[in-house]
Amino acid sequence: MSWTIGEKLKITVFGQSHSEAIGVVIDGFPSGVTVNVDKLESFMKRRAPGQAFSTPRKEADKVEFLSGLNVDGKTCGSPIVAIIRNTNVQSKDYDNIKLLPRPSHSDLVSLLKFGEGRDIRGGGQFSGRLTAPLCIAGALCLDLLESKGVKIGAHIYSVGNSFDLPYDKVDEIIPNNQVDFPAIDKNQSAKMQEEILSVMKEGDSIGASIECKIVGVPATIGEPMFDGIENCLAKAMFGIPAVKGFEVGAGFDVCKKKGSENNDELTVKEGKITTVTNNDGGINGGITNGMPITFRVAIKPTPSIAKAQQSVNVESMEEETLEIRGRHDPCIAVRAVPVVEAVSAIVFANLLI
C-alpha cells in the first residue's frame, strides 16, 4: 500500500488536505510507553501552518488519540489511531484549478489517474498537510529511540545560494525545538531568511535543502544491496511531498574528489575502531559503521506562487494564464525540518525496535 511504510512497525497515513480529518494508524508500537503529550504538541507546532515564512492557514494541529492508549496515557499494544481535525479550510480557493492544472503540482496526474473522482481541494491526498500525521508517528518514535540512546536532529542547510554550517563542523545535534528558523549559524540563518523575504515580496517561492544527523546507531545495522540504510532512508524521504533529491555524507561532492580526499581513514578512539572523517555519512555497503549518519534532502520551491503562469484548459485543450489563489509557503523547507526528523525516526524505529 502506498500509504503505508514499515514492516515491524507499520505506519499508515490517511485523509486529504480538506477532508474532515487527517490521521495515522501505528501498528506494532511497543506497549507500556507513556505518551508525553506536551512534548508531542511542541513537536507538532514546529510543522504547523501559520508561523513565520509559512502559509497563513492557521491550524492548531491538535492530536486526538482514538485508540492504542490506556487510561494512564500509556500504549497498550493495540494499533494506535490518531487524528487531526481540519478546521480552517477554504475550498473555494481551488475552484479555478478544476480545469487549469497548476504547473509542477499533482493536479494533472491526479486527473489522469483518478478522473473526476479526484479531490482537488488543497491538493487532496497529495498535499503536504499529510505530513502532520507522519509527525505524530515520528514524535512517538523519536521518544522511543531516545530511550535507546539514539538522537535525531535536522536543520536548514541551504536556501537558494545561502548555506548554513554543515553538521560535520559541529559535535552535537543542535536542539531546535524552540527555534523558529532551525539553523546552526546565526549569521547564515539571517542570510537565508533574507532570501525567503526577497522572493515573498516578488510573489515567488524558493527551494532549499535540509540536513539531518543521527547519532547513537550501533554498527552493523542494515543489509547489503537493496535493504541498505541508504535505500531505507531514500524511499522514506521521497514520501515527503516536495523532496526532489537525496544524498548521504559528502553526497554529490564526491564527484569532485579524489579517492585520497574522500576515503574515511581508520583510527582507534576510546578503544574502538572509528574513522577520521565521515564522507560516507556513517554507512558502508549499506550497513552502519558506528559513525553519525548524515544526509541531506533537496526541497523544491513551492509550486503555488502569486505570479501568473501558463497552463492548459483540460476541456478546450488551449493554453490559458493561471493565477493561483489560496495560502502557500514561500519556502516549504522551514516547516519540513521536523518532518525529516519524524520520517528518519520511523525508519530507525523499524530497524531497531
Residue 334 identity: V
d(CA 171, CA 294): 13
List pLDDT tens digits, range 156-211: 999 999 999 999 888 778 766 657 899 999 999 999 999 999 999 999 999 999 99
The pLDDT, as a whole number, for residue 177 is 64
- Percent pLDDT > 90 in the chain is 76
Closest listed residue to residue 51, CA positions, set 343, 344, 330? 330
Q: Hey, what's the cell of 307?
A: 505570479
What is the pLDDT confidence band of residue 307, given thresholds at 50, 70 and 90? very high
CB under 8 Å to 47, separation ≥6 — which residues? Answer: 61, 131, 132, 135, 335, 336, 338, 339
d(CA 220, CA 204): 45
Better-predicted residue by pLDDT, 91 or 266? 266
Better-predicted residue by pLDDT, 208 or 323? 208
The pLDDT, as a whole number, for residue 125 is 86
Rounded average pLDDT over 228-248: 97
Q: Hey, what's the cell of 345?
A: 525516526
The pLDDT, as a whole number, for residue 353 is 83
pLDDT at 2 over 90: no
Q: Hey, what's the cell of 39?
A: 512534548
What is the pLDDT confidence band of residue 253, given thresholds at 50, 70 and 90? very high
The pLDDT, as a whole number, for residue 56 is 60
Mode of pairing for the β-strands spanning 208-215 and 151-159: antiparallel
- Contact indicator for 23, 84 with CB cutoff of 8 Å: yes
Poorest-confidence range of 18-32, 108-122, 207-221, 287-301? 108-122
The pLDDT, as a whole number, for residue 91 is 58
The pLDDT, as a whole number, for residue 55 is 61
Rounded average pLDDT over 5-22: 93
Better-predicted residue by pLDDT, 106 or 232? 232
d(CA 22, CA 6): 19
The pLDDT, as a whole number, for residue 124 is 80
The pLDDT, as a whole number, for residue 93 is 60
List pLDDT tens digits, range 36-94: 999 999 999 999 876 666 666 566 789 999 999 999 999 999 999 999 999 876 656 66
Better-predicted residue by pLDDT, 245 or 114? 245
Closest listed residue to residue 292, CA positions, set 171, 155, 146, 143? 171
Closest listed residue to residue 9, CA positions, set 31, 27, 30? 27
List pLDDT tens digits, range 110-122: 989 888 888 877 7
